[in-house]
Amino acid sequence: MSPPGLIISLLVSFPISSLPPSLPPSLPPVAFIPLSLDMSKRFPQIILPLVFLSYLITHLSLHSPPPTALEEEHLPGAQFFDIDVISDKSSPFPHMIPTATAFAEAASALGLENKDYIVVYTTQKCFSAARCWWTFRAFGHENVFVLQGGLPAWKAAGGKVEKGAAQVRSSRPPQGLVQQGGNAYLLGKEGFQAKMKPELVYSWQQVLTLVESAKDEKDRIVDARGAPRFNAEVDEPRPGLARGHIPGSVNVPFDKVMVEGDWTRFKPKEEIFEAFRAGGLDLMALPKERKVITTCGSGVTAAALSFAMVLAGREVEAVPVFDASWAGCT
């Protein structure tokens, strides 16, 4: 019997017939499992982690509703996770993390429950899978994974794809029906329950305190933007933002932890270490108790650095994301 369902695409079981018949040697034996690296031991026969997941969560675009491409081609049962929709609408900054109540409601509407294993995948031109992963981690969900190679790897391994939008059934009962029946408490008992882990989310106040600290041995800040933006050589893509970077931060562009030319694949552990060393941060020499706060333009590619550091062996609590990032500094 397969473990409780995975992800988000609705309450649709992952059909055995959709699984890849074999895995080419060039592909990793498992989709990235950043937090539970023992999954391959628990399920040694897996071809891809999706074999054991009942649902799939898809994140294909940052700034638009589900694109036509999602309906044209996606993993069986996959749903669209929009980080602009599932966000804090009261914030002046884009796609900031929502409240636990709002996230629980959104995740439940996608059919998710806390028992689910969640796999996030993207296409080659999308770098936001790690942001989705981090959001679930920030709300206490540990069984969330990123599919190494994304949709292209799935297809290359022989996995079937679907067309059209998957049907979603909320994991909570309809609010009107529940409230009319006098059982509104069920809305807090069923579906996805979220509890914020504040240690994974840094505010501008915390970053300012760190920058102004006189301690010699303090936590570090690493910026995922490209070098021209970090070095104030070009304007920021968002109008009105100043050039430059947070004082004391170092620069590790997010694509340096990914396979060249492919934003769906993260590099091996040793190459991740090298990417950080090249940027001025030796992760291997950094004490485990020291935090590395990641930042970027608006908190998306910062999560890719946090994800990479978890792959390299650091605890997720030690690599928090500065949610507002540079957008919140100027």
Q: Identify whether residues 123 and 223 lie together within a single domain.
A: no
Burial 169-195, CB ≥16 within 10 A → b, else e:
ebbbbeeeebeeeeeeeebeeebbbbe
Per-residue pLDDT at 58 exceeds 70 = no
Average pLDDT estimate for 116-133: 82
Q: How confident is residue 124, by pLDDT bands cut at 50, 70 and 90? A: confident
Q: Which is more confidently placed, 131 or 11? A: 131
Q: Identify whether residues 236 and 317 lie together within a single domain.
A: yes
The SS3 assignment for 74 reads strand
Q: What is the DSSP letter of 258?
A: B
Q: Is 147 within a domain? A: yes
Place of tokens 């988000």: 8
Q: How confident is residue 226, by pLDDT bands cut at 50, 70 and 90? A: very high
pTM of the model: 0.80
| Rounded-to-integer distance, Cα 25 and Cα 41, Å | 19
Which is catalytic among the residues 126, 132, 296, 329?
296
Q: Is 113 within a domain? A: yes
pLDDT in tens, 264-290: 889 999 999 999 999 999 999 999 999
Per-residue pLDDT at 234 exceeds 90 = yes
For residue 83, what pLDDT is reported? Answer: 85
The most confident of the ranges 10-14, 19-23, 99-103 is: 99-103
Handedness of CA 253, 258, 261, 263 (dihedral sign): negative
User: Residue 85 is part of a domain; what is its CATH number?
Assistant: 3.40.250.10
Q: Is 175 within a domain? A: no
Between 8-17, 40-49, 115-124, 213-222, the lowest mean confidence (pLDDT) is in: 8-17
Q: Contact, 134 vs 22, CB < 8 A?
A: no
End residue of a domain, out of 99, 134, 156? 156
Q: Identify whether residues 142 and 25 lie together within a single domain.
A: yes
pLDDT in tens, 70-95: 677 877 777 788 888 889 999 988 88
Among 321, 329, 9, smallest CA distance to 135 is for: 321
Residue 275 sits in which domain range? 198-328
Q: Identify whether residues 218 and 312 lie together within a single domain.
A: yes
**What's the mean per-residue pLDDT of the chain?**
76
Q: Identify whether residues 20 and 149 lie together within a single domain.
A: yes
Q: Contact, 192 vs 38, CB < 8 A?
A: no
Q: Identify whether residues 212 and 321 lie together within a single domain.
A: yes
Q: Contact, 121 vs 75, CB < 8 A?
A: yes
Q: Is 102 within a domain? A: yes
- Please calculate the CA angle 8-52-125 and round it to the nearest 5 degrees: 50
- Please calculate the CA angle 262-266-272 and round it to the nearest 5 degrees: 125
296 annotated active-site:
yes
Q: How confident is residue 25, by pLDDT bands cut at 50, 70 and 90? A: very low
Q: How many structural domains are present in the chain? A: 2
